[in-house]
Amino acid sequence: MNPGEEERRTEGAPAGCPVPRGVADAWEGDGVMIWLMSIAGVVIAVGLAAALYGWPQPTLSFEEARRAYLADCFTDRVRGVWVDGTRRVALLALADSAALGLVLVMGDKLVTRRLTPALIRTVEEESDGLVLRLNDLVLPRVRFCMNAAESEDGSDRAIRDRLVEWQQSVDGASGLRASPEAA
């Protein structure tokens, strides 16, 4: 502490622990308000920018889904692409395989999976889409919104038939399992 600077104890401070006057005053009034107003200003600026320009929502096109899948599974040939209504999930029919491709947007990255019957735990049908529950620790559940879903070349029927076939092999039931939320 500088010579001539006053010392005082704050309430609750142990005896013999003086606190310099400027430090104690910063937490007693205007200092806290300055910090709170600074934080509020930043929050308002970010909120205003989001309101004016919106948050960027990456979406998938048929070509992006095909390119992302083939970058990871380059030995497969894609026969058709089915993009969901939110344009954040795509299922791909593969030409030479009983497997399906899956591409989805997670943040600003594209995640791909090669779906086989061993990876699919259940396929449930909800009022507006499909829910795929996977045996995957990183990606346990994928929701495919069928409202306004688009198919590149009519492959949606082949993909849906393959999912129904896999679900039948899992539990022996006909058709897709109804979701508990839909009931």
pLDDT tens-digit map of 156-183: 888 888 888 888 877 665 555 555 554 4
Tokens linked to 26: 């910063």
Amino acid code (one letter) for 168 = Q
How do residues 114-155 score in pLDDT, each as one tens digit? 998 889 888 888 888 889 999 999 899 999 988 778 887 778
Residue 7: how many CB atoms within 10 A of its CB? 11
How do residues 30-59 score in pLDDT, each as one tens digit? 677 888 889 999 999 999 988 888 777 788
pTM exceeds 0.75 for this model? no
CA pair distance 58, 110, nearest whole angstrom: 9
Architecture of the domain defined by 62-178: Roll (2.30)
For residues 75-85, give the mean pLDDT.
91
CA pair distance 120, 98, nearest whole angstrom: 13
Give residue for tokens 């939110």. 86
Q: Which range (21-25, 57-61, 101-105) has the least confidence? A: 21-25
Domain ranges (residues) in the chain:
7-53, 62-178
